[in-house]
Amino acid sequence: MLSLNGVTKKFGGLTAVDNVSFDVKEGSICGLIGPNGSGKTTLFNLISGVYPLTCGSVKFNGVDITKLKSHAIANLGLVRTFQIVKPFNNISALENVVVGAFQKHTNRTDAEKVAVRSMEMLDLLKYKDIQPQHLPLAIKKKLEIARIISTEPKMILLDEVMGGLNPQETDEIVETIIKINDTGMTVLLIEHKMKCIMKLSEKVIVLNNGAMIANGEPEAVVNDKEVIRAYLGDDYDVEDN
Ligand SMILES: Nc1ncnc2c1ncn2[C@@H]1O[C@H](COP(=O)(O)OP(=O)(O)OP(=O)(O)O)[C@@H](O)[C@H]1O
């Protein structure tokens, strides 16, 4: 579904993403992990057309999207969340989600139907008339997911959607991601909470200093010596994370 080949990004003298190649299988959930500053968000920015690549290529659903802009990539069905959620604060939660649905639907009634369905899936309908500025972080994060789901994508990129949430809120988001994936959407997610990564991911990709140091099944990846050295640490225990 998504295929990266030699993806590289240089910011002046710094190679933020270094010759990264991997595939994400259609219908799967794939985790992207690594230390702070290892290039995860930059990689999302490259895939989603926010930054141009220095070299390499990205294919989505058989189409070369390397040089496409974000909106064109979103039109093909590949959308992402941002680490810092920035909803439109002066309109209701529902209107925020309707904005996403307008990507495919020009008709207001159709767009609203899709938005309501997305909010239902995330158990957000009770907040529909509230402006996001009055909602807690966990609900804002869910709203961001509802907004991208309402574009009716084939694949979503989630950038630390569990960051800053308590264990119960985190569990809810994990269940939501499973529900979304069950509808057929492919998921690639950046996450520091290893327990969630282990529960959700069919495959885990690890970046360190911009380079991919592991790519495989979660069990194999967490037992990989280089991953332990670079990221997890010797006393790593999934239950603690
Ligand atoms: N626009 C930019 N200009 C210059 N350097 C950048 C830019 N964006 C990111 N970087 C640098 O690229 C490297 C990778 O950053 P990135 O944000 O992708 O890491 P990350 O793995 O997502 O980190 P975190 O887990 O903290 O979010 C860092 O050294 C960062 O300072």
Answer whether 40 contacts ligand 1 (Cβ < 6 A).
yes
This prediction's pTM: 0.92
Digitized pLDDT (tens) for each residue of the chain, 241 residues in all = 999 999 999 999 999 999 999 999 999 999 999 999 999 999 999 999 999 999 999 999 999 999 999 999 999 999 998 877 778 888 999 999 999 899 889 999 999 999 999 999 999 999 999 999 999 999 999 999 999 999 999 999 999 999 889 999 999 999 999 999 999 999 999 999 999 999 999 999 999 999 999 999 999 999 999 999 999 887 776 666 6
**ipTM tops the 0.90 cut:** yes
Answer whether 80 contacts ligand 1 (Cβ < 6 A).
no
3-state secondary structure 128-183: CCCCHHHCCHHHHHHHHHHHHHCCCCCEEEEECCCCCCCHHHHHHHHHHHHHHHHC
Pocket test for ligand 1, best of 8, 9, 10, 11 (most atoms within 8 A of CB): 11
Answer whether 42 contacts ligand 1 (Cβ < 6 A).
yes
